C-alpha cells in the first residue's frame, strides 16, 4: 500500500470528504459523484478524484461513489475503525467547551479525562468528567495507552504541559494555546487558533 | 500592488509568521532570519522567503529582518492596522468560550456582541457581554457596519444563521459548526472543527 507516500495536504482533505459524505448520508442519499462533492465542498472535482486515486479505485462509471462504501474506505484509511480515547489538558473555558462537545463520539473519538493544575478545579466536574490533577496525567496516559491529547491551557504553560504529555506517551496533540509547540519529529501537532483564521480573512476585506 | 495575485495558501501562512514574530518580540529579540523563523514554525526558510517576496523586500543582508518592521508590514498587508469588531452567534459552550477568549484584543479583533435564539439565554450575561436576541442581529450588524461573524450554533441551525448574517452585511464567517456552509462567492468562510484535525492525525498513528 503506497499510503505512506501520500502528501500530507491530501491526507488533510480526507476528513473533509468524510464529513461531507456523512452529511449526504443523513440527507438520505446513497450515491454521489466527485462533481457533487466538489460543489458541496468548494474543492474542484479533479482535485477530489486525484486525492482519492492515491488510495485505489472507488467510483463506478455511471453510478459514481457509494456513500457508505466511500465512508468505510476513508475511515479505514484514517484509522477510524476503532475509537480513540483522548485526554483534555486544561479545564478553563475552552477545555470545558471541548469536554462537552457532542461531536466527537460518532466520529471516532472519546474524551476520557480532563486534567488541570488549579486546586480549585481539581475534583470539580465538567459535564460528566471529574477534573484530575495534572500530576496524575503520566500514570493515566501510560495505564490506558492514550496517544491523543488536546491542550487548552494558557500560552505560557502550553510547552511545559506538552513536554509532560509527550514524555508520558502522547503521540499527537491538538493545541488550542496560541503558541507554536516545540516537539520531537515523531510527534504530530495540529493547532486551533481562531485569530489565525480571522487574520487570514481580513486580508480580503476592505 | 500585486497583492491580489498572491495564492491563498501564502496568505494563510502570513498570520503564522505574525504570531511567531510576536512571540520572538516578547522574548526580547529585535532581529530574526528566515532560518530562525523556519525553525520556530516548522516551515522551510526558502518557503518563508518566497512567501514574503510576494510583498516586496523586507530583510537586510547580514542583519536579517527587523521584528517590529516585519510585524508592521504583515499587519498592514493583512488589514490589521485597524481593530475589527466581531459578533458571535450562539451562546452555548463554544460561543461562551470564544466570548471570554482573551487572545483577540491584541491581535486586531474585538468581540462586540453575542446573539442567541434561546429565550433562557437572551438577556443573560457571558463575561461582560449581554446575550442579545438573534432577531436583533440584522439591525445591529447594519448599524455598526460589522463584517465578521463567528458562528457557534448547532450544525442544524448554522446555515440559517449564516444566511441571516450574510443578508445583514456580514462578509466573512468563522464557522465552528461541523457542517459546510453554502455561501455566495464573495463571502469568505473558514472552519474550525477539531475532529477534522484529530482525524488527520490518526492517519499517522498505529
User: What single DSSP character describes residue B185?
Assistant: T
Range of weakest confidence among A17-26, A51-60, A94-103: A51-60
- Residue B203, pLDDT > 70, answer yes
For residue B201, pLDDT over 50 is answered with yes
More confident residue, B144 or B57: B144
> With 0-12 CB in 10 A as exposed, 13-18 as middle and 19+ as buried, what is A41?
middle
Question: What pLDDT is attached to residue A3?
Answer: 47
Joined together, the cell numbers standing for residue A93 give: 473555558
Query: A205, B147: Cβ pair inside 8 Å?
Result: yes
The arithmetic mean of pLDDT across residues B107-115, rounded, is 96
Q: Give me the mean pLDDT over the A27-40 stretch.
A: 92
Which of B42, B192, B197 is facing A197, going by the closest CB pair? B192
Prediction ipTM score: 0.94
CATH number at A84-196: 3.40.50.720
At B149-184, the pLDDT tens digits run 999 999 999 999 999 999 999 999 999 999 989 999
Query: Would you state the torsion angle of the CA atoms of residues B172, B174, B180, B184, taken in this order, to the nearest 10 degrees?
Result: 0
**Interchain proximity B15–A196, CB inside 8 Å:** yes
Supply the CATH classification number for the domain B2-77.
Answer: 1.10.10.10
Distance between CA atoms of B181 and B190, rounded to whole angstroms?
A: 10
Task: Calculate mean pLDDT across residues A21-50.
Answer: 92
How much is the pLDDT for B2?
Answer: 44
CA A176 to CA A93: how far, in whole Å? 11
Taking residue B191's Cβ as centre, other Cβ atoms within 10 Å add up to: 18
- Tell me what the pLDDT averaged over chain B comes to: 93
**Residues of chain A with pLDDT > 70: what percent?**
98
What's the confidence (pLDDT) of residue B103? 87
Interface contacts A/B by beta carbons within 8 Å: 176
- pLDDT confidence of residue A1: 45
Q: Do B178 and A19 lie within an 8 Å CB cutoff?
A: yes
As given in the structure block, the three cell numbers for residue B190 are: 473558514
**pLDDT at residue A58 greater than cutoff 70:** yes
Reported as a single tens digit per residue, the pLDDT across A149-167 is: 999 999 999 999 999 999 9
Quote the minimal CA–CA distance from A15 to chain B in Å: 5
Of B104, B193, B203, the CB nearest to A77: B203
* Domain definitions of chain B by residue range: 2-77, 84-196
Asked whether the predicted pLDDT for residue A91 surpasses 70, the reply is yes
Instruction: Determine, for residues B199 and A80 on separate chains, whether the beta-carbon distance falls below 8 Å.
Output: yes
- Of B93, B192, B204, nearest to A194 by CB-CB distance is B192
Question: According to the model, what pLDDT value does residue A4 have?
Answer: 56
User: What pLDDT is attached to residue A105?
Assistant: 86
Instruction: Look at residue B41 in the predicted model and tell me its pLDDT.
Output: 87
**Residue B4: per-residue pLDDT:** 56
- Nearest residue to A187 (alpha-carbon basis) of A171, A204, A165, A200: A171
- Where residue B174 falls (left for φ over 0; alpha for ψ -120 to 50; beta otherwise) is beta
- pLDDT higher than 90, residue A41: no
Q: Which residues of B touch A202 (CB under 8 A)?
A: 78-80, 84, 108, 148, 172
Nearest to A170 by CA among A190, A141, A188, A147: A147
Helix (H) or strand (E) holding B2, with range, is: none
Strands B109-116 and A188-191: unpaired
- Cα radius of gyration (chain A): 19
User: Phi first, then psi: what are they for B4, rounded to 5°?
Assistant: -60, -25
Distance, in Å, from the CA atom of A185 to the CA atom of B42, rounded to the nearest integer, reads: 10
Q: Using one digit for the tens of pLDDT, what is the confidence trace for B59-105?
A: 776 778 999 999 999 999 999 999 999 999 999 999 999 999 988 98
The pLDDT value given to residue A102: 86
Q: Closest to B196 (Cβ–Cβ): which among A16, A201, A203?
A: A16
Q: Is a pLDDT exceeding 80 seen at residue A63?
A: no
SS3 content of chain A, % helix, strand, coil (to 5): 45, 20, 35
Q: Output the average pLDDT for chain A.
A: 93
Which residue blocks in chain B are alpha helix, DSSP H? 8-26, 34-41, 45-53, 67-77, 93-99, 137-144, 155-168, 194-202
Q: How far apart are CA B161 and CA B124, in angstroms?
A: 20
Mean pLDDT of B105-123: 95
Amino acid at each position: 500500500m503506497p499510503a505512506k507516500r501520500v502528501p500530507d495536504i491530501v491526507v488533510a482533505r480526507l476528513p473533509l470528504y468524510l464529513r461531507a459524505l456523512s452529511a449526504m448520508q443523513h440527507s438520505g442519499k446513497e450515491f454521489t459523484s466527485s462533481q457533487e462533492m466538489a460543489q458541496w465542498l468548494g474543492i474542484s472535482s479533479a482535485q477530489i478524484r486525484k486525492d482519492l486515486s492515491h488510495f485505489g479505485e472507488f467510483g463506478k462509471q455511471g453510478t459514481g461513489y457509494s456513500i457508505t462504501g466511500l465512508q468505510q474506505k476513508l475511515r479505514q484509511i484514517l484509522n477510524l475503525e476503532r475509537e480513540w480515547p483522548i485526554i483534555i489538558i486544561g479545564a478553563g473555558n475552552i477545555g470545558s467547551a471541548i469536554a462537552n462537545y457532542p461531536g466527537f463520539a460518532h466520529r471516532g473519538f472519546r474524551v476520557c479525562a480532563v486534567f488541570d493544575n488549579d486546586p480549585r478545579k481539581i475534583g470539580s466536574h465538567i459535564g460528566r468528567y471529574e477534573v484530575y490533577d495534572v500530576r496524575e496525567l503520566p500514570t493515566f496516559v501510560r495505564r490506558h495507552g492514550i496517544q491523543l491529547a488536546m491542550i487548552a491551557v494558557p500560552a505560557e504553560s502550553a510547552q511545559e504541559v506538552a513536554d509532560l504529555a509527550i514524555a508520558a506517551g502522547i503521540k499527537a496533540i491538538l493545541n488550542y494555546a496560541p503558541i507554536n509547540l516545540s516537539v520531537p519529529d515523531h510527534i504530530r501537532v495540529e493547532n486551533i487558533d481562531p485569530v489565525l483564521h480571522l487574520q487570514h480573512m481580513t486580508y480580503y476585506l476592505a
